[in-house]
């Protein structure tokens, strides 16, 4: 198995996770229209986990065209509450609506990772975390969003758990890496199994 690794993502969070784990890799953003790929899947009633896996694979496939012999890591995350799948809020008003809809509820983050070599899928995996938001008032949400500003628009749930977003929660079930969008422990185990990193 090749030892050359490529991360198919421009996400600074995913890049930092791999760097902090001591992995040597290149990073290249995938050039895909996520919403265009997502819509037919959602129209067919695909589970949020399936949507995350399909998007992760599409990202890896796009980037793998430029790295014929590398092992390409594609990843994606979806967020769902019951049948509703959330997307990044476009405005602060949408961010407020997101947070109020999550108030007192347990939503799910589904983080998928796919490994490709060439155009062959080597491995697919999805991990989920269950996130229980405490009851929130509209006044608190307004004050919270004033404090965090437009950072709220950079994540699908309109919160950053590693920042003030932690104040929104009363219970979290799932590992930190899954919540950040890349299930590191299963990924590292697979890379060791493949002989790509030191076992």
Mind telling me the catalytic residues? 76
φ/ψ of residue 132, rounded to 5: -100, 115
DSSP state of 9: -
**Among 112, 128, 1, CA closest to 57:** 112
Are β-strands 71-81 and 26-27 bridged in parallel, bridged antiparallel, or unpaired?
Answer: unpaired
* Residue 165 C-alpha from the chain's centroid: 16
End-to-end CA distance of the chain: 14
Helix axes 48-64 and 34-43, enclosed angle (nearest 10): 140
The SS3 assignment for 16 reads: helix
On whether the CB atoms of residues 168 and 144 are closer than 8 A, the answer is yes
**Among 7, 1, 177, CA closest to 77:** 177
Are β-strands 5-7 and 71-81 bridged in parallel, bridged antiparallel, or unpaired?
Answer: parallel
């Amino acid at each position: 198995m090749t030892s050359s690794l490529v991360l198919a993502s421009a996400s600074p969070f995913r890049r930092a996770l791999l760097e902090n784990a001591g992995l040597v890799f290149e990073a290249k953003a995938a050039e895909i229209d996520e919403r265009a790929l997502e819509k037919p899947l959602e129209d067919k009633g695909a589970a949020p986990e399936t949507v995350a896996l399909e998007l992760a694979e599409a990202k890896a496939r796009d980037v793998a065209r430029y790295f014929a012999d590398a092992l390409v890591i594609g990843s994606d995350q979806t967020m769902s509450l019951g049948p509703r799948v959330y997307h990044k809020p476009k405005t602060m008003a949408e961010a407020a609506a997101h947070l109020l809809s999550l108030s007192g509820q347990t939503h799910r983050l589904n983080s998928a990772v796919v490994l490709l070599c060439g155009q062959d899928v080597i491995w697919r995996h999805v991990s989920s975390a269950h996130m229980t938001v405490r009851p929130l008032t509209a006044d608190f949400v307004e004050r919270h969003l004033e404090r965090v500003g437009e950072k709220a628009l950079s994540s699908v749930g309109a919160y950053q758990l590693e920042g003030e977003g932690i104040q929104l929660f009363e219970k979290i079930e799932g590992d930190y890496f899954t919540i950040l969008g890349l299930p590191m422990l299963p990924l590292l185990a697979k890379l060791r199994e493949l002989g790509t990193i030191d076992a």
